[in-house]
Copies of this chain bind each other. A is one copy, B any other.
Amino acid sequence: MSKREKIMLAAIEAFKEKGIEKTTISDIVKTAGVAQGTFYLYFPSKLSVMPAIAEHLIAQMVPAIEKELTQHADVLDQADALVEFIFAFTRQYRDVLALTYSGLAATEHLKEWEDIYEPIYKWVAAFLEKAKQDKRVRENLNCHYAAKFIIGLLESSAEQMYLFTETDTDEVLIQKREVKQFLLYALGIETP
């Protein structure tokens, strides 16, 4: 593993452990097992690690979403898969996601957040477009906007859950079922 990568992963650990504000570069290099000065060979400041972390997350997210969606032919199954995926992903990375968002918000980098999401929006929009051609969603659906609403809706509902629990309690299962129904109506998907 490269030193740069070591530092980035150590930063994630340290941020999780102590919060962004209280994490020092000293903490990060101690966790990474490199010298104090080495940090500056790769990053100019503590918060400049954030975009790298965000990219790291997305680099894991995009191919996973793609794989999920292409596994299913019908939009109903795809919606289902998307909900499951976003909940699973949010659960797995809940700390890091909150940290990354918060870390970007604390700097001037917040605007990059949307750029980072762009590829995901694209993918979802493409699938909706396909479904529209197949008349499987309502014909007045604006796929470009809908993609963003869907991601926002699913992420916020997943976060609402995993703020309190790390495991999939009954409460989580109900929330998932309900958000799926909410989503199907919003997209105008006919259920059998």
Contacts and interface: CB of A to CB of B under 8 A. Distances in A.
A182 interface: yes
Name which of A102, A108, A114, A163 has the most chain B CB atoms within 10 A of its CB.
Answer: A102
Contacts of A138: 185
A74 B9 CA distance: 52
A182 B21 contact: no
Interface stretch (A51-59, A60-68, A173-181): A173-181
Given A19-B107, A21-B106, A152-B156, 19 more contacts: A20-B106, A21-B107, A98-B110, A101-B102, A101-B105, A106-B106, A111-B164, A113-B163, A114-B160, A145-B179, A146-B178, A149-B156, A151-B156, A152-B152, A152-B160, A153-B153, A153-B156, A185-B185, A185-B188
A28 to B, nearest CB: 15
A63 B153 CA distance: 25
